[in-house]
Amino acid sequence: MESKGYSLAVHYRQSTRKNEVRQRIVTAARKLTNVRIIRGKQVINLVPVGAHNKGTALAAERNRLGCEWVLYVGDDENDEDAFAMDVNLVAVRVGFNASSRTCYYLRQQPEIDRLLHLLVKLREGVISKGRETMS
């Protein structure tokens, strides 16, 4: 278990019976009141209902920086709060997930570098829209 100050992360990465352990953690967590359960990659996060999340953090930074648009790339369930923001947002998930709120996805982490490189080249006018792809 990992205390994160206002939340708790229960990791089961080293368990040999991941499905059973994950289910036990979720069953125990459901007995708690005012707790939101967020499943992650071999971790269960327990956060207070109504607590700040990646969506509220994204909104705060967008406002602080005065951005009109935001590119947000994430790869986990806890990124879904940011993906769901009702702002000028390009949400990209690493790894396809049919239930994700994103319209776009990358297959693997290394494609993030290629995406950023492409965006820089587009901004510099080095390539024209539609002439270079991620694949």
Superfamily of domain 54-124: HAD superfamily/HAD-like (3.40.50.1000)
pTM: 0.77
Query: In sequence order, what E strands does the chain have?
Result: 2-3, 8-11, 35-40, 43-48, 70-74, 89-94, 104-106
Average the pLDDT over 14-22 and give the result: 95
**Which tens digits make up the pLDDT trace of 91-117?**
999 999 999 999 999 999 999 999 999
Domain with CATH 3.40.50.1000 in the chain: 54-124
Query: Around Cβ 74, how many Cβ atoms within 10 Å?
Result: 20
Question: What one-character DSSP code corresponds to residue 77?
Answer: G
Contact present, 33 and 71 (Cβ < 8 Å): no
Query: Around Cβ 76, how many Cβ atoms within 10 Å?
Result: 17
Average the pLDDT over 50-70 and give the result: 93
